[in-house]
Structure 1
Amino acid sequence: MTVPGGAPPPRGEDLRGSVWSVPGMVALAVVAFTGFSGYAALLPVAPLWAVRGGADSAGAGLVNFVLLGATVATQFAVPALIRRVGWALTLSLALLLLGVPALLHILTDELGVILALSAVRGVGFGILTVAASAAAVLLVDPARRGAAVGAYSLALAAPNVLLMPVGSWVAETWGFWIVFLLSGASLLGIPATVVLARHLPERATHDHRHPAVLEAPTGRATLRVVLPPTLILLGITLAGGALITFAPQMVAVAWLATAGLFAFGLVSTLLRWRAGGLADRLGSGRLLWAFVLVAVAGLLALAWLTRDPVGTGALLLWLAGCALLGAAYGGLQTLTMIRAFEKAGPRRVGAASAIWNAGFDAGTATGSVLVGAVAVGWGFGVGMAITAGLVLLTLPIALRSRR
């Protein structure tokens, strides 16, 4: 019995026990939770901070675009970075680049400085997403890959539920500095990176007996097998990015946006967690098509609701639409990640992680731009309907994966 990469599974691993008992899994959860806290808390607040400093809506929109652009640009270099400096330094660097710039926001609200800080944070986030998701797979036996991805996903999604919906409210009610301090929590996860590194197959950075996660994601063979699940991911993150970005503009009362994003985040977190175990039992490919249809249903409901700003009379329908989209958003993230690792094979874990994470962030950024552009001329209802059509285009890929 071996873990991906050819190393024996950590001593004490019991395939019948909880995945949390696997050595290194709790440390990975700490790294993911603290790192993604630094990402989620500032995602809605950094653009508001730029507006507070005098930036217009176009300038504010650049903040997260620069963040995600730097993220995608970094992700393909992460396997080489792990090979060169090792797991502990790579993950520590990620948390450092997320936490320090977050704290530096306190010093100024000038747009140029905020964009520079966003770029640095994007580099840190790019390193974190690739390295941490690869680590989740390498900690366990392949038979428990789904459970490990689900546990990791729960840890990273929790900050999205706890911090993202309330970040702007906290900033405007109690002060922006509180959110900046919360984002600095990424630094608290650095000690856990050392613990995590002890349990990964590549303990020595130049140990070529276990080359998993060290291969650069440039091979056509890797891209060919990982591309189908990444296209499904691209569709659902495009939809999720649109809702996360524009929920405050889709509603007539501000608290409705918070309620909708909370429902979206809570359901997506639960599905990211539970979908991993289902994939271990049933197979990841058998479940993809169902979640694609759930996404389309949720988007069509939101398209109908957002023809005009959503009022309190439509609260239950608004929450239901957000929850449906959240279910697909969470389920498809976990299932496509598992599928990408399965198709890439144990020697290309880093390559699969880089491609998958690039698809995630590209989809999120594209959703913000696409739906915003459509909404200018035709409204959010049309924008969400077009998004539903784009997600539906991934259904044939999902149906082929049932094989």
Structure 2
Amino acid sequence: MRRPAPTSLPPIGRVPGFRALIGMSLLGFAGYALLLPAAPLWAVRGGADEGGAGLINAVLMLATVLTQTTVPWALRRIGWRPTMVAGVLLLGLPSLLFAVTDHLPWLLVLSAVRGTGFAVLTVCGSSAVAALVDGPRHGRAIGLYGLSIALPQLVLVPGAAWIAETLDFGVVFALGALPAIAVPFAARLGRCLDRLAREDTPAPDESAAPGRGRALRGLVVPALVLLAVTAPGGALLTFTPQLAGTAGVAALGLLAFTGVTALSRWAVGGFADRYGPSVFLAPLLALCAGGLVLCAWAIADGGTRPVLLVLGMAIVGVSYGSLQNLTLVASFAAVPRRQHSTASAVWNIGFDAGTGLGSLVVGFVAAGTSFSVGLLTTAVVCVVAAGAVLVVPVAGGARGPRPSA
């Protein structure tokens, strides 16, 4: 069912605080993107096997998920500004210490600290979108916010391995501290959001809003869909430099994956606002499974078919980017405004749990069998999730947009 398009609204980019959000996100995710493929390679150089390399990002995401459960509480008790400033510092500064050691235990400790900061950045970033922009334009606002997340990954994920191997790992670790210089953006955005929080009163339609338990149940399906697609996404981001065979093929595959991800997350926003997210979920999960099968075929038998691998990664990127936007729109639609930080936390837990599990599961499956079998395992998860979406209704489907709070 077609949704009415919102009219007579100011451009999203001119909403107070939105540009600061973009600046914080660009710098924060730049540091995240650089170390995502580079830190496992650094661990391998220090003597770790595939399983140990997978643990790097798995620990990063475990710490992220555990911290994300506490971020809504921190925002209520401490405030937006100090919470976000602490987050960008925790994400950025530990990167400098990676150059000191390549021993796996210390790398895991540093990854855990970075995960704490990443949790703050992710929950606060997506919560800020909902706090700054009116409900009928959440899809497009999330699309623009998604570009600020995806563009650093588009440039830096494919380039991280090249920088490390051509220049030096120390250059990667120095650039990985970029989130620390996002402090002014975090402080400015925090002041804006703290002011909005003081002025905010519940909207009239929230007097009959669902209870916390019911609202949380509405967030489960979007989070599981996101987990299903970010598991293979996390595996590709972590292991492409190892499964591609050459640095050139790895860079091209990651460029295709991150580029399509960025465009898809931005482009699907208008469709989400107009038609609702639920109609797109199952087809995109099925498309992701098809792309993963193609990737697995491309690296079967110990060889690499570069064209098939790059094509498969691009197909996965369509689903990976689109479903990030759609599931966040569905999460915000499932709860009243006062619970948007909770919706953001649950959504980010699904995202980061999937990324970490993808790295962990595919790494250990590859250590025992092959990367091809590991990718096929995640394809099965996508197919199962697609079937579940067809059975269980998702918020934000056929109903109209939520009133602006």
| TM-score under structure 1 length normalisation | 0.88
Contact 1:82/1:205 (CA < 8 Å) preserved in 2? no
2:219 is matched with 226
Pick which of 367-376 and 225-234 moved more.
367-376
Q: 1:113-138, CA deviations, whole angstroms, 9 ceiling, x for partnerless residues?
A: 32222111110001111111100111
Pairing partner for 1:125 from 115, 118, 124: 118
| Aligned-pair identity (%) | 43
Pairing partner for 2:87 from 71, 90, 94: 94
Looking at structure 1, the residues matched to 246 and 369 of structure 2 have their Cα atoms a distance apart, in angstroms, of: 21
Q: By how many angstroms is 1:204 displaced?
A: 7.4
Looking at structure 2, the residues matched to 48 and 315 of structure 1 have their Cα atoms a distance apart, in angstroms, of: 21
Q: 1:150-196, CA deviations, whole angstroms, 9 ceiling, x for partnerless residues?
A: 11111011111111112122112111121112111112211112221
3-state SS, counterpart of residue 164 of structure 1:
helix
3-state SS, counterpart of residue 176 of structure 2:
helix
**What is the aligned residue count?**
382
1:296 is matched with 289
Pick which of 344-353 and 101-110 moved more.
101-110
User: What does 1:46-57 correspond to in 2, within 5 Å?
Assistant: 46-57=39-50
Greater helix proportion: 2
1:173 aligns with 2:166: yes
Looking at structure 2, the residues matched to 310 and 334 of structure 1 have their Cα atoms a distance apart, in angstroms, of: 35
2:402 is matched with none
3-state SS, counterpart of residue 166 of structure 1:
helix
Looking at structure 2, the residues matched to 224 and 397 of structure 1 have their Cα atoms a distance apart, in angstroms, of: 15
Pairing partner for 2:330 from 339, 345, 357: 339
Pick which of 230-239 and 296-305 moved more.
296-305
User: What does 1:4-403 correspond to in 2, within 5 Å?
Assistant: 15-200=8-193, 202-203=194-195, 209=201, 219-311=212-304, 314-399=305-390, 400-401=393-394, 402-403=397-398
Looking at structure 1, the residues matched to 364 and 105 of structure 2 have their Cα atoms a distance apart, in angstroms, of: 24
Pick which of 29-38 and 300-309 moved more.
300-309
Contact 2:161/2:241 (CA < 8 Å) preserved in 1? no
Q: By how many angstroms is 1:310 displaced?
A: 4.5
Contact 2:40/2:238 (CA < 8 Å) preserved in 1? no
The 1:15/1:199 distance shift into structure 2, 3 A limit, reads farther
Give structure 2 stretches of 5+ with no counterpart.
1-5, 204-210, 399-405
1:9 is matched with none
Q: By how many angstroms is 1:60 displaced?
A: 3.4
Looking at structure 2, the residues matched to 45 and 376 of structure 1 have their Cα atoms a distance apart, in angstroms, of: 19
Looking at structure 2, the residues matched to 375 and 53 of structure 1 have their Cα atoms a distance apart, in angstroms, of: 19
The 1:253/1:108 distance shift into structure 2, 3 A limit, reads closer
The 1:398/1:15 distance shift into structure 2, 3 A limit, reads farther
Q: By how many angstroms is 1:352 displaced?
A: 0.7
Q: By how many angstroms is 1:74 displaced?
A: 0.1
Give structure 1 stretches of 5+ with no counterpart.
1-12, 212-217
Looking at structure 1, the residues matched to 122 and 7 of structure 2 have their Cα atoms a distance apart, in angstroms, of: 27
The 1:105/1:379 distance shift into structure 2, 3 A limit, reads closer
Q: By how many angstroms is 1:84 displaced?
A: 1.6
Looking at structure 1, the residues matched to 170 and 62 of structure 2 have their Cα atoms a distance apart, in angstroms, of: 25
3-state SS, counterpart of residue 369 of structure 1:
helix
Looking at structure 2, the residues matched to 317 and 257 of structure 1 have their Cα atoms a distance apart, in angstroms, of: 13
| TM-score under structure 2 length normalisation | 0.88
RMSD (Å), alpha carbons = 2.3
The 1:112/1:362 distance shift into structure 2, 3 A limit, reads same
The AA in structure 2 aligned to 1:389 is V
The AA in structure 1 aligned to 2:243 is M
3-state SS, counterpart of residue 83 of structure 1:
helix
Q: By how many angstroms is 1:309 displaced?
A: 3.8
More relative contact order, 1 or 2 (CA 8 Å, 6+ apart): 2
The 1:161/1:250 distance shift into structure 2, 3 A limit, reads same
The AA in structure 1 aligned to 2:43 is A
Looking at structure 2, the residues matched to 54 and 390 of structure 1 have their Cα atoms a distance apart, in angstroms, of: 31
Contact 1:139/1:199 (CA < 8 Å) preserved in 2? no
1:215 is matched with none
The 1:360/1:101 distance shift into structure 2, 3 A limit, reads same
